[in-house]
Structure 1
Amino acid sequence: MLSAARALVLSEIADAIVADPDVVRVGVDGPDGSGKTVLATELAAVLRDRGRPVVHLSIDDFHHVRAIRHRRGRDSPEGFWLDSYNYDRFRADVLEPFGPGGDRRYRPAAHDVRTDEVLTPEPRQAERNALLIVDGLFLHRDELAGAWDLSLFLDVPFTETARRMASRDGTPSDPGHPGMRRYVEGQRIYFTTCDPQRRAGAVIGNADPDHPVLTWSAGR
């Protein structure tokens, strides 16, 4: 059950999306463990309740194969930042079909991270008025500039995201632990390089999921 404060934030975001006919592609960014998938799922449900069809995907289904992801070393923060995702496939299979003039025929995945298999599923046909919501890391990097009609960034400190990841994945709960270096330092490179909080259309303080804090960018 959603808290009243969380329901209010989701409703405000949905209001902004529905009110702007130019909003089709929505990105939900933030550190690993910040709650991106949960929030994207909840937002999709709110929008569907308002009669809008929604396609909800994750960029985690567009990883590179392990040989590329780990070519700089399995523990490399630079490798995590530079080599995690296949942006060419993501753009061709998802962003372009939902872009201006796109036919809404998309592929939901390009890679199975568990088996390391490259995937080429049959295209799916979304409705013409469908919204696209994508959750995942690094959605405000340069390769995705101009990809989002509206983007959100979930702001949660690493001390909290590491705790959540430990509960979810069994990883160390201390963000300073050597086993977390690849992920924490890779995301710090992203923050320094791309300043996603500035690029996002709105920032959501999600350290307390029951009391999120929504701040719209000055440009909206």
Structure 2
Amino acid sequence: MRLVTTPRVSMLRELADRIGLRAGRGRVVVAIDGPLRSGKTALGDDLAAVFGERGTTAFRASMEGFHRSREAQAAFGPDTAERYYAHGFDESALRRALVEPFRLGGSAGFVTRVWDTSRDAWVEPKWLTGPEDAVLVLDGRFVLRERLRGLWDFTIAIDGDPVDPADRIAYAECDPRTVADVVVVAAQN
């Protein structure tokens, strides 16, 4: 289905072209980072729709689906911005349940979320598979930190200044806008 052409859709089509040129064929993982409430999820949803418009199978995931439980986070000390930045997400589950099996292709199953933060509980896994050529669009805070950066084929940062203490810590360590393949201006969100 062809999307209605708007300035945002035109920008996303150009972005999808750049991703295709950079990453090529096969399984491609795109990561979108930005501060709290910057429009990461909407951008990811819209970018996946543009890939779908082209006939490319696109999957969506968010770091929100890979949080650690409140109990697991508490094991790392008091509830602070530092603790949230360092230990708020289960990066091991992200790798094991999503990124690594997605990259395997074929019949390897992957899940796009393992945790429900509102219930502070595991979710019933919905195992997915896809064709050899597919795109995974993942959005989330801190996805362009150094220890995760090598997982992604193409990276996008949303232009915007940190708005909460955890974002300020992350941006002091490494501003995602300085390492992303593309920076999307907040007005385009």
Match of 2:33 in 1: 29
Is 1:197 aligned to 2:177, yes or no? yes
Q: Counterparts of 1:98 and 1:127 in 2: how far apart (Å)?
A: 10
| CA displacement at 1:197 relative to structure 2 | 1.3
Q: What TM-score do you get using the length of structure 1 for normalisation?
A: 0.76
How many residue pairs get aligned? The number is 183
Structure 2 gaps of 5+ residues are none
| CA displacement at 1:98 relative to structure 2 | 2.5
Q: Is the Cα contact below 8 Å between 1:109 and 1:121 reproduced in 2? A: yes
Q: Counterparts of 1:123 and 1:6 in 2: how far apart (Å)?
A: 32
Match of 2:12 in 1: 10
Q: Is the Cα contact below 8 Å between 1:110 and 1:118 reproduced in 2? A: yes
- Equivalences for 1:7-156 in 2 at 5 Å? 7-19=9-21, 20-21=23-24, 24-70=28-74, 71-74=76-79, 76-99=80-103, 101-103=104-106, 104-119=108-123, 121-156=125-160
Q: What TM-score do you get using the length of structure 2 for normalisation?
A: 0.87
1:6-36, CA deviations, whole angstroms, 9 ceiling, x for partnerless residues?
A: 2221111011123341570000110110000
Q: Counterparts of 1:2 and 1:135 in 2: how far apart (Å)?
A: 23
Q: Is the Cα contact below 8 Å between 2:30 and 2:136 reproduced in 1? A: yes
- Residue 101 of structure 2: SS of its match in structure 1? coil
| CA displacement at 1:72 relative to structure 2 | 2.9
Of the two structures, which has the highest relative contact order with CA contacts closer than 8 Å and spacing of 6 or more? 2
Q: Counterparts of 2:4 and 2:166 in 1: how far apart (Å)?
A: 32
Q: Counterparts of 2:19 and 2:71 in 1: how far apart (Å)?
A: 39
Structure 1 gaps of 5+ residues are 159-174, 176-183, 213-220
Q: Counterparts of 2:124 and 2:5 in 1: how far apart (Å)?
A: 40
**What is the aligned-residue RMSD (CA, Å)?**
2.1
Q: Identity percentage over the alignment?
A: 29
